[in-house]
Amino acid sequence: MNDTSKQKVDYSAFPDKSGHFGIFGGRFVSETLIYALEELQSIYDGLKDNAEFQAEFDKDLAHYVGRPSPLYHAERWSRELGGAQIYLKREDLNHTGAHKVNNTIGQALLAKMTGKSRVIAETGAGQHGVATATVAARLGLKCQVYMGAEDVRRQALNVYRMKLLGAEVIPVESGSKTLKDAMNEALRDWSTNVDDTFYIIGTVAGPHPYPQLVRDFQAVIGREARAQCLEMTGKLPDALVACVGGGSNAIGLFHPFLEDESVAMYGVEAGGDGVETGRHAAPLNDGIPGVLHGNRTYLMEDENGQIIETHSVSAGLDYPGVGPEHAWLKDIGRVNYVAINDDEALNAFRKTTRTEGIMPALESSHALAYAEKLAPTMDKDQIIIVNLSGRGDKDILTVADLDGITV
């Protein structure tokens, strides 16, 4: 690659005014929702550079979420692998156990500004649902969470957590009964109750301005990691690794580093049974651009444009689309998108638990599994930051089940 011929991209200029990242993104929704999205955008545009709003957000992140989250040098694991030094960005230590809460805190502040009394959310693994139910409890907002019936079964613990927090979990029985169907149902609810309802989308997908505002709220991950890495090691990392379902934890880590050209980035999709089998959830590896859930992005679809069922051991990555900014970063070549299959992720789950005493979420285990491959190819003085996006307690029953153990 000839760097001098590469045109410098001003990443802060994206999305453009109409919500596009190149050909991706946009606002592909029914007419009923347009006004609500325009209203949300105008509120957000007014607040995003407002010092008071940022101060309130930062205060909540510090005192309620527990930020900054540590950047932890996984020395034993790095030594075993014999290559680059692996640092873990510990989003698993956030209140509610994952990066999702960064975004729900931000959107809850927006909901408060709009004066709406009810929030809804879609959830896959349940982490976003829990994070939404949590902020709703704190603000006294009515909360309903749509969750695919299949995921309700897979993530029983999170379902009960949401109920304890006072949210109503609505199992979605249509389609493939997973995250995409939960999102369809949440959009239907929002169309119906648009006057009093704020829709808290959990990832960097959906119609503009969601991909932008969720990214902005999650970018705290990368800002902290960048400063922490400089402070601890005196230099920038050589590589970033994060799992990508919709892609919110990955964009949160990547975005503040995009202009640091020396930093390589790896987004890790769910390879399921293997990308070559077709049974996976890796649209950036094996999909084509199309339109779903309000944005144009890479999708898993058949030759007639029907969205196809995805497969991953991890409910949080089991989604046929991906955030439009990732689609764009793939096309311009800034981020490498790779895939890790179920077995590799499960091995990484066990390995990290035994080697570092940290039990990662199955989603994050995909990123860890890729780091395990990448580190030995790099020098010992090089640095990889892996986003440990969530803790694995919610996945214990899934893992036990695969081991044939009834807990």
Partner 1 sequence: MSRISQQFAQLKTDGRKALVAYIVNGDPVREVTLPTMHKMVEEGVDVIELGVPFSDPMAEGPVIQKGHERALEHHVSLTDSLALVAEFRQTNQHTPVLLMGYANPVERMGYANFAAKAAEAGVDGLLTVDLPLEEVESLNRELSSHDIDNIFLLAPTTRVERARKIAEHASGFLYYVSLKGVTGAGHLDVESVQAKLEEFGALTDLPMCVGFGIKDAASAVKVARLADGVVVGSVLVEAMGQGSEQAPERVGAIVRDIRQALDQI
By CB under 8 A, name the binding residues for partner 1. 18, 26-36, 174-175, 180-181, 184, 187-188, 191-195, 289-294, 296, 299, 301, 303-308
Q: Which is nearer to partner 1, 62 or 308 (CB)?
A: 308
* Least distance in angstroms from the C-beta of 309 to partner 1: 9
Least separation in angstroms between CB 146 and partner 1:
12
Calculate helix-pair angle for 342-356, 362-374, nearest 10 degrees.
80
Min dist CB 191 to partner 1, Å, is 6
Q: CA 382 to CA 396: how far, in whole Å?
A: 33
Q: What angle do CA 99, 104, 110 make, to 5 degrees?
A: 145
Q: Which of 69, 78, 89, 122 is catalytic?
A: 122
**Local structure of 161: helix, strand or coil:** helix
CA end-to-end distance (rounded Å), the chain: 52
Q: Is 100 a catalytic residue?
A: yes
Q: Which is nearer to partner 1, 305 or 376 (CB)?
A: 305
CA distance 297 to 283: 9
- Residue 238: which H helix or E strand, with range? none
Q: Tell me how far apart the alpha carbons of residues 9 and 19 are, in angstroms, rounded to a whole number.
A: 17
> Are 381 and 233 contacting, i.e. CB atoms less than 8 angstroms apart?
no
CA distances for 57 relative to 62, 116, 120, 246, angstroms: 9, 19, 20, 23
CB 241, min distance to partner 1, A: 31
For residue 128, what is the enclosing H or E element?
A: helix 127-139
Q: What is the DSSP secondary-structure string of 13-25?
A: G-S-TTSEETTEE
Q: Which of 69, 176, 314, 389 is catalytic?
A: 389
Residue 78 Cβ vs partner 1, minimum distance, rounded to whole Å: 43
The first and second tokens of residue 330, run together, are 């793939």
What does the alpha-carbon distance between residue 57 and residue 68 come to, in Å, rounded to a whole number?
13
Pairing relationship of beta strands 239-243 and 264-272 according to DSSP bridges: parallel
For partner 1, give the closer residue by CB, 220 or 307.
307
Min separation Cβ 120 and partner 1, Å: 14
Catalytic, 373? Answer no
Q: Which residues pair with 30 in a beta bridge?
A: none
Nearer Cβ to partner 1, position 114 or 355? 114
Among 100, 116, 180, 394, the active-site one is 100
26: CB partners within 8 A, 6+ apart = 18, 19, 20, 207, 208, 294, 295, 296, 324
β-bridge mates for residue 168, sequence order: 144
| Rg of the chain over all Cα atoms, to the nearest angstrom | 20
Closest to partner 1 by CB, 33 vs 335, is 33
Residue 300 or 368: the one with the smaller Cβ distance to partner 1 is 300
Residue 57 or residue 319: which is nearer to partner 1 going by CB?
319
* Rounded least distance, CB 181 to partner 1, Å: 8
Active site members: 100, 122, 389
